[in-house]
Structure formats: C-alpha cells, structure tokens
Amino acid sequence: MKVGVIGSGAMGTGIAQVAAMASCVVVVYDNNLSALDKSKASLDATFAKLEGKGKLPDAKAVMARLSFTNSLSGLADCALVIEAIVEHLEVKKQLFASLEAQVGEGCILATNTSSLSVTAIAAACVKPERVLGLHFFNPPPLMALVEVVPAIQTSPEVAKLANQIMMDWGKTPVIAKDTPGFIVNRVARPFYGEALRIYEEGIADIATIDWAMTTFGGYRMGPFTLMDYIGHDVNYVVTETVFTSFFFDPRYKPSFSQKRLLEAGWLGRKSGKGFYDYSSPEPQKTAIEDAALGLEIVDRINAMLINEAVDALYLKVATAADLELAMTKGVNYPQGLLALADSWGVARVLTVLDELYRKYGEDRYRASALLRRAASEGATILN
C-alpha cells in the first residue's frame, strides 16, 4: 500500500515511521526543504538505532520504502494520505483542496488535527465522504492509540477501511465523534483544570496535588509535573481551544495561573521553568503529605474526570469500550474512568459532584444526566 504523509514535523515523521515499518511505501511531502532533510535524517538514525538494538532486521530496506518530496504531485497514486501540517483551519482547507486534485478517486484523505473540526476540513473537498480524522498521539511510533474521527460527511466504508488500516499498522483505533477534543483531549481536561482550580483556591500547593495524584490516584505523573512536561504552550492552547469550541462551557474554563506561565515564556521542562524550576537537576518538590487532604484532592479530580467520561458516553462521543481504551492507551490512566465510576459506585461520585455544586454554585460542577440516572436506578455505567 502506498501512503502519503503531509508535513514532516514531529507528527508527520512519526507517522511516516509507523507506516514504513508496517511495510507501506511512504511518500513524505513538506513545503519546507529543510524540514524534509531533517525528517529524513531523523528516520535514518531511528531505523539504524532500532536495527542496532535488534528490533528491526533491515534498516536500509525500511528506509528504501520512504521517499521525500516538496511537490504535491508526488502523492498521485497513494491509497491513503495523512496530513500533519500546521494547526490552522484555512491552511489545512487549502491544502486539502489542492491535494484532492492530485490523488485518485479512491484515495482516503486523513487529517491528524487535534483541535479543528474534521467536518470543516472535509468541506474543502469535492468528495468530502473520503475525508476523516486519524488523530495520532505523540510520539506516534510509541503511542498505540489512534482516534478515528469520521466527519459528518465521511462514508461508513471509508471509516471502516481507515480503522482496519490502523489495526494493520499495529495501532489501537477508537472511533470518536467529530466534537472538540475528540475523546482524550476532552475527557482529560479536568485532570489539569480541576488541579489548577484546587491550587488557585489555595487548598493545596502544586507539589501536594502531584503527590496526592500519584500516591493515591495511581497516575504516573501529577498534573503539574505533566503540564510542565507537555509544555504550557501546548497544554494551555488545547484547553483554550476546547473551551472556545464548546461555546464557553465553564467546565473547560482555562486557568490564569497557566496562562501567565505561557505569557512569561515559562513553558515547563523545555524552557527550564514552569510550575517547577528545572535549573537544578532535581526540581524542588516538597509536598505536605497529609493523607486526608491527599484523598480529598484525588476524589475531587477523579469525580470530575469520571463525570466528563460519563457525559461523553451520554452524548455518544464514543462507545464505553472506546472511552476506556482511549484513556488507558492514550494518556496511560491506571484504569478506565467508567470502570473507576463503577468501582467507586456512581452514588458516591454523584455525592462528590453535588457537594461541589452546592459549595460553589457553578455550572462547572453539574453532574452528567447519565450519572444521575444511573445513581437513581442503582445501576452501573459499564454492563
């Protein structure tokens, strides 16, 4: 199968690697020659390293399946093209319109957008039924999850075929409705947002919240460590985009503490400073290790995460099974949030949320109708 990858940056290079390692012939297109050179050099080095470790029998053979071009016509006979250029709707629409003139009738056109409407991108094409979202996670070769996002115009056959191709590439595809943040970037919002809120209220400091979430929540990283790791330029912008795209639903409201870090250029680990200071080898983190406080923090953030997942299920953003897969494979949560709801008992989750709602009187804390219904019926979320 011949695959085109458009954009040879971080994501495009990773996607090209995945496709080439899955035996596809891959053409990488970028309008910037130095980006193409960098991508080629990086893939060369990656394959050589994998061969050295005994994880790839023949690096040269894989590299021989890849070619690099700065002309769109190079993508002419591809069966699938995946776009991973700059996150800008008008630029993507323009590209899709020109791309469609170059490829054959049967070619599937996919976008790796993380925050734009796939439907809006598809609308730029004469045959929007062949367009869908294939949202990989960073870095694509290591992250198994791919969110398959049919636009409202996408034909079921195209979605099914793309899903099968992802499985053939060894990925774990989940189907997400074309709604802001798809699954992961929507459901994970409270992990950051509620932690920031607790911090801003002065209930606990960042080190204590991180300690609580790793110690009692079982998360690999606390929210502040993770935000510093992702970078505030990325994490804040995702939050703001999701908030705006949801017509300013207060559940997704961004935080000023994080916005200020971004404005100061304190982007996290990559800039040497974020919530923590990375100028010394081991950033100073002194948590107040109070178990009662820690459990209260975890209950509050987990209740908000569960609510988000249950509401996504209620609004048919994805199936229960795909919601669970997405959060465990996409962001490595210790368990699916719907399973967590059932292990807590939905009544207890509802009590935590209703208590927050009573305390603050903010719509942010409204419980999902599905959670309320399950609690009143004594039902579980998963069957």
164 lines the binding site for ligand NAI (CB under 6 A): no
Q: At what angle do helices 337-344 and 346-360 cross, to 10 degrees?
A: 90
Tokens linked to 227: 């935000």
Please, is 326 exposed, middle or buried when counting C-beta atoms within 10 Å of its C-beta (0-12, 13-18, 19+)?
A: buried
Which residue has its beta carbon closest to ligand NAI? 9
Catalytic residue among 185, 255, 302, 307: 185
**Nearer to ligand NAI (CB atom), residue 113 or residue 153:** 113
**Interface mask toward ligand NAI for 288-317; x: CB under 6 A:** ------------------------------
178 lines the binding site for ligand NAI (CB under 6 A): no
Catalytic residue among 8, 39, 115, 135: 135
Tokens linked to 67: 């070619």
112 lines the binding site for ligand NAI (CB under 6 A): yes
Q: How many chain residues interact with ligand NAI (CB under 6 A)?
A: 22
Q: Which stretch binds ligand NAI (CB under 6 A): 40-48, 107-115, 355-363, 369-377?
A: 107-115
Helix (H, G, I), strand (E, B) or coil at 379: coil
**Nearer to ligand NAI (CB atom), residue 233 or residue 290:** 233
**Nearer to ligand NAI (CB atom), residue 12 or residue 268:** 12
Cβ atoms of 155 and 120 closer than 8 Å: no
- Concatenated DSSP letters of 194-218: HHHHHHHTTSS-HHHHHHHHHHTT-
Q: How far is CA 319 from the centre of its chain?
A: 17
Q: Is residue 70 flagged as an active site residue? A: no
Q: Is residue 147 flagged as an active site residue? A: yes
Shortest distance, CB of residue 70 to ligand NAI, whole angstroms?
Answer: 8
Q: Is residue 114 flagged as an active site residue? A: yes
Q: Which of 147, 188, 194 has its CA nearest to residue 327? A: 188
Q: Is residue 185 flagged as an active site residue? A: yes
Alpha-carbon dihedral sign for residues 325, 326, 327, 331 = positive
**Nearer to ligand NAI (CB atom), residue 8 or residue 307:** 8
- 151 Rama class: left (phi>0) / alpha (psi -120 to 50) / beta: beta
Q: Which of 293, 197, 324 has its CA nearest to residue 254? A: 197
**Nearer to ligand NAI (CB atom), residue 35 or residue 323:** 35
**Interface mask toward ligand NAI for 67-106; x: CB under 6 A:** -----------------xxxx---x---x-----------
**Interface mask toward ligand NAI for 123-142; x: CB under 6 A:** -------------x-x----
Please, is 293 exposed, middle or buried when counting C-beta atoms within 10 Å of its C-beta (0-12, 13-18, 19+)?
A: middle
Contacts of ligand NAI in 2-31 (CB under 6 A): 6-12, 30-31
Shortest distance, CB of residue 96 to ligand NAI, whole angstroms?
Answer: 10
Which one-letter amino acid corresponds to residue 370? L
Q: From edge to edge, which strands make up the β-sheet containing 25-29?
A: 66-69, 25-29, 2-6, 80-83, 108-111, 131-136, 145-150, 172-175
**Nearer to ligand NAI (CB atom), residue 89 or residue 320:** 89
Catalytic residue among 83, 100, 147, 324: 147
**Nearer to ligand NAI (CB atom), residue 318 or residue 370:** 318
32 lines the binding site for ligand NAI (CB under 6 A): yes
For residues 357 and 372, give the distance between their C-alpha atoms in angstroms, rounded to a whole number.
Answer: 14
33 lines the binding site for ligand NAI (CB under 6 A): no
Cβ atoms of 301 and 294 closer than 8 Å: no
For residues 165 and 168, give the distance between their C-alpha atoms in angstroms, rounded to a whole number.
Answer: 5
114 lines the binding site for ligand NAI (CB under 6 A): yes
Alpha-carbon dihedral sign for residues 178, 179, 184, 185 = positive
Shortest distance, CB of residue 169 to ligand NAI, whole angstroms?
Answer: 16
Catalytic residue among 8, 39, 112, 114: 114
Shortest distance, CB of residue 149 to ligand NAI, whole angstroms?
Answer: 12
The footprint of ligand NAI (CB under 6 A) covers: 6-12, 30-32, 35, 84-87, 91, 95, 112-114, 136, 138
Catalytic residue IDs: 114, 135, 147, 185
